[in-house]
Amino acid sequence: MRKILAFGLLLPVLAGCGYGRPVQNDEYYDDSRRARVSGRLGGNDGILIVGTDRSQPQGGGSQEGGLGVNAYLWRATLDTLSFLPLTSADPFGGVIITDWYSPPAAPNERFRATAYILGRQLRSDGVRVTVFRQERQGSNWVDTAVAPTTATDLENQVLSRARELRSQSAAR
């Protein structure tokens, strides 16, 4: 009996410590006749009257016309790197490659960037940006070091923009 009581007390403690997995409503028994019918006409659980359909996998990975990567990260990366001319953008592999670009204020140096979106999830480690910098020495362009924070700053910018897009979408 004492063991049963101890076990009973343990569960609320686990709840408090956040070890639990949320149980969804469809994991509970439902005694309605509707619940006995397998599947739903049209595939969705009821006809959507108000709101946005989120019954598809979250994160925009598969609901944006067949993108292979997270849609919010993809769009945010395009937005963030839009000041650079684009050479290649592969929405399935999640690779964006820009061309060289010289800022008008510094015509003797140029930048290009490569961004990789690493998956379908909207995660802070879901995007990696690499920046290349060259300086003109005579008639040649020579590779030079980039400030280590530049790539990180760009990634943060992408994540901020993705969060912005996600919250705008959620508020619709």
Partner 1 sequence: MRKILLATTAVAAAALFGPAEAAAQEAPTVRVGGYFRFNYAFTDQDGSSLNGNNTGKNDFASDAEVHVIVSGKAANGISYGATIEIQEDQNRQSTATTATKTSLDIDEQYVWVASPTFGQLRVGDEDGPVTGAFLTGIVTNFGTGGIDGDGYDNIIGANQRPSYYAGGALADSSKVIYSSPDFFGFDFGASFAFNNGEGEDSGCEAVSSLCDRLGSSPGGILRQRNERQAAIRYRGSFGGVGLQAMAGYIGSDVVNNSTVTGPLSGQISGKQMSAYTVGAQLAAYGFLVGGNYIWGDYNGGIAPMARRGSGVGAGTIVDDREASQITVGASYTIQALTVGANAYYVRNAGSQTVGAERKDRAWSVGANYTLAPGLQLVAEYLNIQRKENGFDFLAGSAGAANNKVGTDVFLTGVRIAF
Tell me: does residue 76 bind partner 1 (CB under 8 A).
Answer: no
Q: Which of 1, 2, 6, 53 touches partner 1 (CB under 8 A)?
A: 53
Minimum CB separation from partner 1 for residue 70, in Å?
12
168 interacts with partner 1 by CB under 8 A? no
Question: Of 59 and 94, which has the nearer Cβ to partner 1?
Answer: 59
Say if CB 122 and CB 60 are below 8 A apart: yes
- The reply on whether position 37 binds partner 1 by CB under 8 A is yes
Q: Is 160 in the site for partner 1 (CB under 8 A)?
A: no
Closest C-alpha to 85, from 113, 107, 105: 113
Alpha-carbon distance 60 to 117, whole Å? 13
106 touches partner 1 (CB under 8 A) = no
- How deeply is 44 buried, as exposed, middle or buried, from its count of CB atoms within 10 A (0-12, 13-18, 19+)? exposed
- Three-state DSSP class for residue 115: strand
Question: The sheet that has 109-117: what strands, in order across it?
Answer: 86-90, 95-98, 109-117, 127-137, 140-144
* Segment near partner 1 (CB under 8 A); pick from 22-30, 80-88, 108-116, 128-136: 22-30
**3-state secondary structure at position 78:** helix
Q: Minimal distance in Å, beta carbon 61 to partner 1?
A: 13
Out of 5, 17, 105, 145, the residue judged to bind partner 1 by CB under 8 A: 17
Contact call for residue 52 and partner 1 (CB under 8 A) = yes
Separation of alpha carbons 21 and 102, rounded Å: 51
With CB under 8 A as the contact rule, the residue among 21, 65, 104, 145 that binds partner 1 is 21
Comparing CB distances to partner 1, the nearer of 71 and 113 is 71
8-state DSSP, 101: B
Binding site for partner 1 (CB under 8 A): 11-23, 25, 28-34, 36-54, 58-59, 122, 166-167, 170-172
